[in-house]
Amino acid sequence: MAASKAKKPAKKATKKPVKKPAKKPADEPVKASARRAGAAKAKAKAGAKANANAKAKAKAGAKAKAGAKAGAKAKAGAKAKAGAKAKAKAGARRPVRARAATRARSAVERWAAESPGWAAIDAALARLYGDARPFHYAPRLPAIAGGDDPLEGISVFASARGAPHWHFVTYGFSDLHEKSTDDPEASGFGFELSFRLARGDEKEPPPWACNVLQNLARYVFRTGNPFGVGHHVPLNGPIALGADTEIHSVAFALDPELGELDTPFGAVEVLQMVGITRDEAKAIKRWSSIGVLELLAERDPLMITALDRRSLLADPTTRSVVEERTVREGSSSAASFTTQLEFGHGDEGVLVRMGAIAVEDLVALMQGRIPFGREFSLLGRGNIVSFRPTDAAGFSVDASEVTIDTTPELAGEIVRKVHPARGVYRFEAMPSFTLEILPTEIKDQAGNVTAVIG
């Protein structure tokens, strides 16, 4: 990525409208405004029916707005190609350099008219940071020009609010230049990401944080699964490769300063990515991502991620509170994201294949959801496997989703038998259900395998 202190990009190519599938309601939103949030399962059915309707997932929360713009955005006509080439050549947004105030004003007005979604994000940041010029990172070859980076840009401000930190904000999950979906209320996926990273004596923000944000964007664009308040994602290693840190996962909360934005193309929630330690991630799966985020916010309202932060659970009093509420409340996480997931079915039953890295989530959700009468889902790239509490074991298939009717006996057998190791598991409580665990390769940013689970 190229860094600059610039502010305005070249105009983006015109996009063809893409319809979004419906998304399920949030399980337990942090705030009323987070209506597209929660750990609901998004209907990621790219390759099945383009407009497949999702089943209602949770009893609380409002209807989720964010849909999927799955896949990379297509280039549209000669004008699109010219715009993409110009932007790729520039490498980053260039500032308006007018010689006269009137020319500057006209350039800004023209920019706002051409890219009103981007201008709306800029306006929200201007309310926070005034005339401060951020570092801006943009891919030299964005996805629209055939590259692998879905986000068009990431701005980073040096904030002095609370503890000194870098405040990263993305451009690209929402509609920046034109409306691309048929949802009148949400812009694009309905969100952008932010990230607050503790700042020391360094003069520039670390580029690894931009890489993490782009990697999350690749997941969203390729699978069509949007993020929401309360979602959590494992990173398969430390958040900064090679760093000595316990931060190995992230969760999403509403950015405490940016919140929800109104743009010409619809609402945009700014979801703050918050670093989560390994034992906090286990507590999230067994109990509540929202609960863990609230405990973090009590200590730091801005939820700044520091690589050397100790876990909340290192405090005996906090650990006791989390354990007691886990037993009393069960898990509020209705879904878990994984990249290795597929299924097949026939007259004899259903076979589910999943990566070993997802077994911990499966077991934790089986323990924290089914005994409390709550369904949960594993979300993959185009496939969904749901487990629904019931008195009679069975299964049903709907396009790219299979639902396993899970009795208490089957849930207990899965918890006892399944481990993160390669193997095939069959269950007495449901002979028609077979679960195959596949090895999971952990790769670095260059695509090199660094470890194998299972």
Report pLDDT digits (tens) over 302-326: 999 999 999 999 999 999 999 999 9
Higher-confidence position of 406 and 381: 406
Higher-confidence position of 396 and 147: 396
Higher-confidence position of 114 and 198: 198
Cβ(75)–Cβ(231) below 8 Å? no
How far CA 267 is from CA of 117, 211, 223, 382, 390, in Å, comes to 10, 26, 22, 26, 38
Does the pLDDT at position 99 exceed 90?
no
Res 110: pLDDT: 65
Neighbours of 185 (CB within 10 A): 12
Distance spanning both ends of the chain, measured CA to CA: 35
Can you tell me the mean pLDDT for 153-168? 97
Cβ(62)–Cβ(90) below 8 Å? no
- What pLDDT, in 10s, does the model give residues 340-362? 999 999 988 999 999 999 999 99
Does the pLDDT at position 52 exceed 50?
no
- What pLDDT, in 10s, does the model give residues 6-36? 344 433 333 333 333 333 333 333 333 333 4
Can you tell me the mean pLDDT for 278-286? 94
- In order of their start, the domains of the chain are 2-325 (no CATH), 338-443 (3.30.1360.230)
pTM here?
A: 0.72
Cβ(351)–Cβ(427) below 8 Å? no
- What pLDDT, in 10s, does the model give residues 411-445? 999 999 999 999 999 999 999 999 999 999 887 66
Specify whether the backbone of 71 is left (phi greater than 0), alpha (psi in -120 to 50) or beta. Answer: left
**Alpha-helix runs per DSSP H in 56-206:** 77-90, 101-114, 116-129
Using DSSP bridges, classify how beta strands 266-277 and 186-198 pair: parallel, antiparallel or unpaired.
parallel
- Sequence-distant (≥ 6) Cβ neighbours of residue 250 within 8 angstroms: 212, 216, 232, 233, 235, 239, 273, 274, 275, 276
Q: How far is Cα 102 from Cα 191, in angstroms, rounded to an integer?
A: 34
Using DSSP bridges, classify how beta strands 341-346 and 349-355 pair: parallel, antiparallel or unpaired.
antiparallel
Higher-confidence position of 212 and 99: 212
- What pLDDT, in 10s, does the model give residues 227-268? 999 999 988 889 998 899 999 999 999 999 999 999 999 999
Neighbours of 128 (CB within 10 A): 14
Cβ(70)–Cβ(20) below 8 Å? no
User: What mean pLDDT, rounded, does the chain reach?
Assistant: 80
Q: Predicted confidence band at 107 (pLDDT cuts at 50, 70, 90)?
A: low
Distance of CA 357 to the CA centre of its chain: 18
